[in-house]
């Protein structure tokens, strides 16, 4: 009888652990989508290149937990670094790589900024609809008359917002597929 109780306890504990890990993973993924990396960079730039967690929460409206998830993800991507302010508090700062990119007009960061202003979301979606919901950076570059870097950035931005899913074709080309199939299946 004791063995049955022990086995039952292990099964229940394992199931609970798996459930909690899955919920945490979903929460983490959702937190990353709530604000783009570029928006975070802009907020940090507005705070003289560094920001504490409390200021970040008040600037974004994210929960403290979501803010930590987002900032941690950007730390792991080397977009941000950890520094200490004059009161020896931990602050998040732009990494040296990002700082140098901010001053290089040919950088992907500037391509990102240009892409935000060069073609509206609706135009990118319209081009995808014309192509049965699928668009590549090359086809967007051609059809919208923007640079390849700008096309990649726009598609990645819309992917992060859940507008597109990422797919890889048989020949290895990255292809973005509209998540709203009703837009193109009726055509």
The pLDDT tens digits of the residues spanning 30-64 come to 666 778 888 888 888 888 888 999 999 999 998 89
Task: For the chain, give every domain's residue range.
Answer: 1-33, 34-103, 115-185
Q: Where are the beta strands (DSSP E) in the chain?
A: 50-51, 80-84, 90-94, 134-135, 164-168, 174-178
**Is the pTM above the cut of 0.85?**
no
In 3D space, the residue among 142, 138, 144 whose CA is nearest the CA of residue 123 turns out to be 144
Nearest-angstrom CA–CA distance, 58 and 40 = 13
Please check whether residue 121 is in contact with residue 105, taking contact to mean a CB–CB distance below 8 angstroms: no
The pLDDT tens digits of the residues spanning 97-112 come to 777 766 554 555 555 5
Alpha-carbon torsion 82, 52, 98, 153, what sign?
positive
The pLDDT tens digits of the residues spanning 136-155 come to 999 999 999 988 888 888 88
Long-range own/partner contacts, residues 70-75 (CB < 8 A, 24 or more apart) = 70/31, 70/32, 70/34, 70/35, 70/40, 71/40, 73/32, 74/37, 74/40
34-103 against 115-185: fold identical: yes
Determine the topology of domain 115-185 in CATH.
Arc Repressor Mutant, subunit A (1.10.10)
CATH number of 34-103: 1.10.10.10
Output 23 or 128, whichever has higher pLDDT: 128
């Amino acid at each position: 009888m004791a063995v049955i109780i022990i086995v039952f306890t292990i099964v229940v504990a394992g199931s609970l652990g798996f459930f909690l890990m899955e919920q945490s993973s979903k929460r983490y993924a959702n937190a990353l989508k709530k604000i783009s990396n570029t928006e975070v960079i802009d907020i940090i730039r507005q705070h003289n290149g560094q920001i504490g967690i409390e200021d970040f929460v008040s600037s974004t409206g994210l929960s403290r937990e979501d803010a930590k998830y987002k900032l941690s993800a950007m730390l792991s991507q080397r977009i941000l670094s950890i520094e200490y302010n004059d009161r020896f508090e931990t602050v998040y700062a732009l990494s040296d790589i990002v700082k140098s990119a901010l001053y290089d007009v040919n950088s992907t960061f500037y391509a990102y900024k240009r892409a935000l202003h060069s073609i509206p979301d609706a135009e990118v979606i319209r081009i995808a609809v014309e192509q049965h919901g699928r668009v590549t950076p090359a086809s967007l570059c051609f059809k919208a008359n923007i640079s390849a870097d700008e096309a990649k950035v726009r598609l990645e931005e819309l992917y992060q917002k859940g507008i597109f899913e990422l797919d890889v074709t048989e020949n290895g080309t990255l292809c973005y597929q509209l998540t709203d199939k009703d837009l193109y299946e009726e055509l």
